[in-house]
Structures are given as C-alpha cells and as structure tokens.
Structure 1
C-alpha cells in the first residue's frame, strides 16, 4: 500500500523493507497455532460427521448433538485428540504460508494502492501449495486420531503405525485433493478478506474490528464453497481406518467423489458443512487478527527502533 502517513500512524500493511523475513514468519506461525488450537473441538466434530462409514455410536444429527454425545460417552478430552499434531505442523506451515504470501503479493503488485483481488488470490494460491506440502502428513495424523474408536496413543504412535501399515503414500494420497480444495479456498478467502478490509477500512489504519469482521466473512464464504472437496479429503485421509474394502482402496479425488455420490447422493457432499463454517469463521477471524496485529506491532517497533537484520 502506498501513500504518506503522519508520524502518529503506521503503514503496517506492508512490513518495512529492512524487516527480516523471520518477522513475517513468526507472525504467521503464531497466527496459525492460535487459529487451529482454539477451534479444534469443532474440527474434530466435522471430521466425524464426514466419515463415509461411521460406526453406529458415531452418527450425529448436528454439532450440539455430536459435542454432547462425544463428551458424555467418550469424555470431553476426546474432542482434543490429535491437537498436538496440528500444533507441531501449524507453526512451520503457517510461517511458510504467510512468508510466501507476503513475498508473492509484493511480486504480483498487490501492495499498490487500490483493489488487487487477482494479486491477492494468486499470492494465496502460492502460499497454499507451499504450506500444504508441509502440513499434509500432520493433517492425516490429526484426522486418524479424531475418528471414533481411534486407538493411537499419541502423534508419534499414529505416524509410526500408519507408516508401517500403509507406507509413505498414506501421508500424501490426499495432497492433490487438498490442493484442489485449498487453492480455491484460499483464493476466495484472500480476495474476500482484502475486499472487505479495504471496503470497511479505506484509510488502511490498523483497526482490529475490521480484521475480525473481514476474516470471519472470508472464512465462512470460503469454507461453504469448498465443503464437497473437504468431504473427499476426509475420506482419503481416513480410508486406512475403514473396514469397507471400497473405501480402503479409494485412490484419489475422482474415485472419492464417485463413492460419496453412490453411497449418499448429493447430500453427501454437504456433510460437515455446519461445523466447517462454524469453525472457519472464528478461526479465520482469529488468524487474520493475530497476523495483522503482529505486522502492526513489528512495524511500530521498527519505527521506534529499527529492526536489526
């Protein structure tokens, strides 16, 4: 963003030129961990609702029903199973994500004055390809630990057993599907976020409420639009836990879509829509708020005392 600001204002949106990349990475890492950890129980419910072959004990009518039944029959801690995998992966993955986003947005001309939805969307797509490559195995472990009847003791136990039983491929079979989902998700999310942020706050000053509202809207819109792909991703990431040979041998996105349609019709593609939107609205709002605060804070520190490289 260009334009001269007074001494009491900070053009925080673009980090200063002499800021080391680590500053952007740290803001991103903290944002990622905050985003995933806070809404983790709702994500657990979403995973369970999307499983194609649920056990009778794991068939839920909605988010409240699922939360109540899981808490009473399996204990509230069950909703947090696998959270360590997300914390381990989310820090580095989000650091890479935001670092790539800032670098490519600048390269695509997204920091110039005015609306640049294509630059934001393109930067979002590049950021996603990089971060998902790092995050995918952690996501597989997380979902394996979230399903009903999961017997893994911890993240390491799950990783070792999946590796032994299904090999390296198990950790990346969903990567093409993940990208097919997250590239449109992030492109929609970034473009929506940038649009609302500039529309609600045209002068570009730091305003937490703008980031919360814009982030929430962006997260909800992107989550709803990409739910069918998320259902397919869950099927591929948890297929090793199924007893049904058709599910166990599901080989990719097209195969997953065919199977979901055969078993559940069009309704199958909306499985977990409610908890997905419910978790993404606040988590995206948290993520953007923490990230924008981090940028503002670093910019302010730099104005008071230049950051050493």
Structure 2
C-alpha cells in the first residue's frame, strides 16, 4: 500500500499537522533520510559546481562550460572522481537534516503554521531556524567535501582530510565559511521553504499527501533559491578551499568581505555567478528528492499513527 493510499485526507489527522504522538525521533529520522537522499543523488553535479567556482585552478582544471568539465574530469581523472568526497556528505547530511527538519516542523507549528492554511511568516521563520541548526552540523563536513573535490587533492578519506585540516589550519578551518554559509542558508532556506509551502498550497489546496506536488514544488523552490544565492555560494567556496590555493592572495582571504573584494577585482560581477548552471541543475532535483523523501516518510509515520489511534 502506498503512503498516499495509507493516509486518506480524512484519516483523523490533517497531513500538514503533526499528531501529538509524532515523536522527535520519527521527525529526525524522516529528515535524516531526506538529507542523505538529497546530497548523494546529485553529488557529481555538486563536484562540478565546486570545480567551476575555484578561482585559480590548474591549467587542466579550466573548463569551458559544464559539458567540457564532465569530459575533462572523467578523461583525465577517471569517472569515479565525480564521487570523490561523497562519504563526507553522506555522514554529515543525516544528523544535519535531522536537526533541519525538526526545527522546521517545530518552529512552524509554534508560529501557527500547521494545518492547511498558508502562513508565509511561519514558513520563512521555520526555514531560517532550520538553516541555522542544520548548517552548524553540516559546515565542517562541507569543508572536508570541497577539499576532497579539488583537482589533485591528496585526501582520499574524510579522516585523512580532517586530520590534515586540523594539523595545518586548526579548528577555525572547519568553520571559516560558517558566517558565509549562514548568510547563504538563511535567505536560501527561508525563501526555499516559503516558496515550497506557497506552491504546495496553490497546487494542492486540500493538503493531502501528493507526491507530484511535493516533487514539483521542491524542484521549483530549490532552483529559484539556488540561483538567487549563487554569489554567496561562490564566496563560500573561495573561503572553504583557500587552504589548498597556490595563489597567496587567495590563500589568505580572511572573511566574506575580503573574498568578495578579491572576486570583484579579478573577475568583476560575472565572477559571482561562476557555477550557476550546475548549482541550479543540482538544486532542482536534489531539493525535489529531499522534500519527496521527507514527505513520503512523514506520510508513512502519520499513517502508522492513525492505525494505532483509529479514533
């Protein structure tokens, strides 16, 4: 039986409202499941985005577009290179998204955003809370991931990479980009969740579980949010990969303003949109997968809650 069949609209709980016995553990499990799906499914595109955002790649790492990047990397480094560093996000995405979705549901509920009515302020606020909590856990894993994604990276495991970062750059290296990450994730997640909830309410006013709505709304919301925050993502990549840069100026960038000034001076405004296509191409399906995975598990848990409490 599918989740949509197991959870009719009049099942006793509104789909958008969590029942009293819907535990934090179940909510976190659904979030972890969604996060791992999201980050692993589109990982090769994320690696391409990182490679295209690097300011001072080696001559063999200068790409003329997305298709050229794919051909160059697979021909010179092998097909499996596209998955280098995936273990870092696979490990980090579970706990990070568990916190992310738990914060989303709880803050949205506290602010009156449960039920089938649309509450834009509650949706945006829940997105902000989810971003702050989830990114605090995910940021170190994201740093490790991007160091492993670089061309010629000597790191072949997350343990080796983490030890090297700790030894050569210290604890600060794991959170050097956290202010930028939060600067990205607050507008990205706030806008993405606001857009997701708004599109979902418009397409599916009844509020019942609908996988087509969850997938489509997730894709649109993710693509719009990714495009809008690409400039900040370029800054974040510059900060997270500074320790591997051969260029002394890039190696010594010390924060958001410093990185932004270097990018602007060297490449102009166009430099802030490096990697736009792979970022959007990764965000649309990955966000669709994330929301679909979260909603289907949420629907299954709610169906089980109805089965145990039929009245």
Determine whether 1:132 maps to 2:139.
Answer: no
Output the CA distance in 1 between the equivalents of 2:103 and 2:82. 32
Query: Conserved in 1, the CA contact under 8 Å of 2:14 and 2:115?
Result: no
Q: Indicate how the Cα distance of structure 1 residues 260 and 72 shifts in structure 2: closer, same or farther if over 3 A, else same.
A: same
Query: Conserved in 2, the CA contact under 8 Å of 1:105 and 1:123?
Result: yes
Corresponding residue for 1:107? Answer: 110
Could you tell me the TM-score, scaled by structure 1's length?
0.96
Corresponding residue for 2:66? Answer: 63
Output the CA distance in 1 between the equivalents of 2:193 and 2:97. 14
Determine whether 1:45 maps to 2:66.
Answer: no
The C-alpha deviation readout for 1:10-46, integer Å capped at 9, x for no partner, is: 6222221111110110000000000000000000000
Determine whether 1:279 maps to 2:306.
Answer: no
The C-alpha deviation readout for 1:116-163, integer Å capped at 9, x for no partner, is: 111111111011111111111000000000011101121000000011
Corresponding residue for 1:289? Answer: 292
Corresponding residue for 2:19? Answer: 16
The C-alpha deviation readout for 1:285-308, integer Å capped at 9, x for no partner, is: 00001111111110001111259x
Aligned mate of 1:146, from 145, 149, 156: 149
Output the CA distance in 2 between the equivalents of 1:68 and 1:153. 22
Tell me by how many angstroms 1:197 deviates. 0.2
Tell me by how many angstroms 1:6 deviates. 5.9
Corresponding residue for 2:270? Answer: 267
Determine whether 1:173 maps to 2:176.
Answer: yes
CA RMSD of aligned residues (A): 1.4
Query: Conserved in 2, the CA contact under 8 Å of 1:35 and 1:287?
Result: yes
Output the CA distance in 2 between the equivalents of 1:51 and 1:16. 47
Output the CA distance in 2 between the equivalents of 1:175 and 1:123. 19
Report the secondary structure of 1:36's partner residue.
helix
Corresponding residue for 2:4? Answer: none
- Equivalence map 1:154-233=2 (5 Å): 154-233=157-236
Q: Indicate how the Cα distance of structure 1 residues 276 and 169 shifts in structure 2: closer, same or farther if over 3 A, else same.
A: same
Output the CA distance in 2 between the equivalents of 1:187 and 1:53. 32
Output the CA distance in 1 between the equivalents of 2:284 and 2:99. 22
**What is the number of equivalent residue pairs in this alignment?**
303
Output the CA distance in 1 between the equivalents of 2:54 and 2:9. 54
Query: Conserved in 1, the CA contact under 8 Å of 2:189 and 2:225?
Result: yes
Output the CA distance in 1 between the equivalents of 2:230 and 2:22. 37
The C-alpha deviation readout for 1:243-293, integer Å capped at 9, x for no partner, is: 111111101101111000011111100000000000000000000011111
Output the CA distance in 2 between the equivalents of 1:153 and 1:102. 37
Corresponding residue for 1:301? Answer: 304
Runs of 4+ with deviation above 4 angstroms: 5-10
Determine whether 1:72 maps to 2:75.
Answer: yes
Corresponding residue for 2:3? Answer: none
Query: Conserved in 2, the CA contact under 8 Å of 1:13 and 1:295?
Result: no
Output the CA distance in 2 between the equivalents of 1:158 and 1:76. 21
Instruction: Show structure 2 runs of 5+ residues with no match.
Output: 1-7
Corresponding residue for 1:239? Answer: 242
Could you tell me the TM-score, scaled by structure 2's length?
0.95
